[in-house]
């Protein structure tokens, strides 16, 4: 391991000694100064996680969260200088973190909060004009070729737990005592301007949107949703996506693999 690698390893592992090559400009003990620096780095990263995952912290309490976050930091240090991008793997980490096993929904709450961060940071895209989609829908025999592109800020989470209600309760929109955390919910995360929304949607709506994200044609994605739930309402789901500015582009895919705009 090179000197830089040794420094990073010692910085994240309190069991490691101060790197031997470190010196101080004023003759003070390098080990003592390094210990202070190590504690400051760890505290800063934990603070960043607490800012990004406030509901997770509220669910477990500050003391537990900070102890758990310290383990995560040592397990998964940042890969970029942007602290706002730190924490993508926290949900997966929590799922395997034994002390959090009594709260099985905690990992999905962390995943939902990460989708909100991702949505806030996503690139801006202009929404599709409603009349453009109306023109395309006016020729139902071509829906098998119609593909919709969604905003990069959009995120989906299908959970075995009531992640939307848990999140809403911690925003003051619901009473936490009224939430059954073991009720499955699907979440749609969207950004309108600078505001990120968390919306509870039906599992069939989620399957439909997943299909669009995977490049399925409109009719094919809708068919999958109908097979899951015969009550799936394509018009309502499309209207919701349009109102939220979630659809950014539509085009027909030809048999040659090319796409062209509806006219």
Which tokens in the block code for residue 91? Answer: 């949900």
Residues 87 and 174 in one domain: no
Residues 218 and 263 in one domain: yes
Residues 166 and 87 in one domain: no
* Residue 128 counted as domain residue: yes
Q: Give the span between the Cα atoms of 261 and 30, in whole angstroms.
A: 65
Residues 144 and 253 in one domain: yes
pLDDT digits (tens, 9 = 90+) for 15-54: 566 665 666 656 666 665 666 667 778 888 999 999 999 9
pTM score: 0.85
* Residue 113 counted as domain residue: no
Residues 8 and 99 in one domain: yes
Overall domain count for the chain = 2
* Residue 160 counted as domain residue: yes
Q: Of 74, 103, 132, which residue is a domain's last?
A: 103
Residues 188 and 72 in one domain: no
pLDDT digits (tens, 9 = 90+) for 200-240: 999 999 999 999 999 999 999 999 999 999 999 999 999 98
pLDDT digits (tens, 9 = 90+) for 100-121: 999 999 999 999 999 999 999 9
Q: Of 57, 72, 103, which residue is a domain's last?
A: 103
Residues 155 and 203 in one domain: yes
Burial 21-36 (b: 16+ CB within 10 A, else e): eeeeeeeeeeeebbee
Residue-range definition of the domain harbouring residue 98: 1-103
**How are strands ordered across the β-sheet holding 247-253?**
146-150, 247-253, 259-260
């Amino acid at each position: 391991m090179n000197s830089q690698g040794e420094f990073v390893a010692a910085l994240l592992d309190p069991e490691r000694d101060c790197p031997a090559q470190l010196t101080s400009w004023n003759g003070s003990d390098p080990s003592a100064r390094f210990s202070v620096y190590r504690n400051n780095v760890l505290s800063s990263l934990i603070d960043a996680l607490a800012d990004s995952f406030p509901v997770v912290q509220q669910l477990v309490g500050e003391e537990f969260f900070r102890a758990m976050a310290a383990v995560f930091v040592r397990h998964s240090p940042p890969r970029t200088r942007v602290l706002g991008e730190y924490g993508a793997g926290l949900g997966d980490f929590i799922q395997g973190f034994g002390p959090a096993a009594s709260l099985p929904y905690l990992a999905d709450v962390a995943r939902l909060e990460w989708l909100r961060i991702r949505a806030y940071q996503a690139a801006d895209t202009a929404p599709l004009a409603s009349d453009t989609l109306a023109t395309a829908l006016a020729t139902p025999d071509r829906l098998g070729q119609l593909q919709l592109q969604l905003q990069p800020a959009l995120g989906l989470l299908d959970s075995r737990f009531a992640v939307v209600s848990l999140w809403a309760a911690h925003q003051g929109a619901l009473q936490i005592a009224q939430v059954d955390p073991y009720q499955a919910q699907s979440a749609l995360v969207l950004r309108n301007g600078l505001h990120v929304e968390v919306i509870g949607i039906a599992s069939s709506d989620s399957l439909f949107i997943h299909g669009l994200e995977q490049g399925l044609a409109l009719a094919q994605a809708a068919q999958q949703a109908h097979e899951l739930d015969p009550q799936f309402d394509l018009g309502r789901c499309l209207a919701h996506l349009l109102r939220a500015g979630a659809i950014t582009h539509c085009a027909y895919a030809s048999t040659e693999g090319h796409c062209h705009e509806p006219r």
